[in-house]
Amino acid sequence: MIKLNKDFFVRVLILLGVVFSFFISFSVDNKNGDLGYNLYPNLNFSFIDVAINKSSDTKYYSIFLGILFYLTALLLVFKNLKIHYLTLFFLFILLTFDIYFIYLVKQGEFLGQHLRLTIPMFLLILFSYKKNKK
């Protein structure tokens, strides 16, 4: 029988964050004025992928759920958040950009902008988790 403790729950949240930021994302598009969300397998494993002005992407691939899982894990596990301000700041910046790009899709003004920093985000979460375990 698996003993459910806080550490196990945090590991599950980090794993869900990995799944919903690396492997599964939500494609967000605005066809005929309707905002559509679909699960989409993410096969782009670039370290940093940024397009602030314009790109050839016609849909926005959101990692909103992955960021929320990471944030929940951070807030549950860390006793001393002073060490982890950088991680929290980084996640809130990514969350803000994600919400902004979804807003652009909804308004019909999306030009392919995106900010995908999934690998640095995961490494920062992993570093913060390991630092907290000491």
Residue 100 has a pLDDT of: 85
pTM exceeding the 0.85 threshold for the entire prediction: no
Number of H helices, E strands in the chain: 4, 5
Cβ-based neighbours of 54, under 8 Å, separated by 6 or more? 111, 112, 113
pLDDT value of position 49: 63
Cβ-contact 72, 9 below 8 angstroms: no
Instruction: Give pLDDT tens digits for 81-102.
Output: 555 778 888 888 888 888 888 8
Q: What is the pLDDT of residue 71?
A: 87
| Assigned domain for 95 exists | yes
Low-confidence stretches of the chain (pLDDT beneath 50): none
Residue 123 CB partners (closer than 8 Å, separation 6+): none
> What is the greatest pairwise CA distance in the chain?
53
pLDDT for res 59: 72
pLDDT given for residue 24 in this prediction: 81
- The parent domain of residue 41 ranges over 6-133
**Residue 1 domain-assigned (yes or no):** no
Could you tell me which residues are beta bridge partners of residue 30? 35
Q: State the total domains in the chain.
A: 1
In a domain, 76, yes or no: yes
